[in-house]
Structure 1
Amino acid sequence: MKQLVALAVGLVFSFGLLAQPTIVFQPQNITGNNGDIITVDVVVNNFTDIVSMQYSTNWNPAAIEFQEIV
């Protein structure tokens, strides 16, 4: 019985995750020379009334240096 209750509670809380907005990261084919500054757009769908969010972006630091968010 405890397992059934735990399963039911888990399913209820997991449905909220399905309704969350999705951030779509679609970098274009970008080329540049050493020392060039490039920009990458971040496209967001259904992103209204959001209080907070958290995400991570990874890259090869030997190839790209992060400078700023505009």
Structure 2
Amino acid sequence: IQVELLEKIVGYIDSVINLLSFALTCRELCVLIIPWHIEYRWISCHPGRTDIWKMLSIKPHLAARLQHLEIHRHEDFA
């Protein structure tokens, strides 16, 4: 299967657990999914994490994979 089609299929998988299970079915999927789809699928942080915002701004392909973003007040991490 072409990489573009695999990317589309992977994009429809919402659950990180299901995504990981799919990645572990073969080497080609593992290389495609881990870490590019796993690491940036779900982000939970406070607004002061400029390293994350910078990474997402300079690597739009990672930002495109983001499906869930939680922004917390600084007090939530104290």
TM-score by length of 2: 0.25
Going by fraction, where is helix more abundant, 1 or 2? Answer: 2
TM-score (norm 1): 0.27
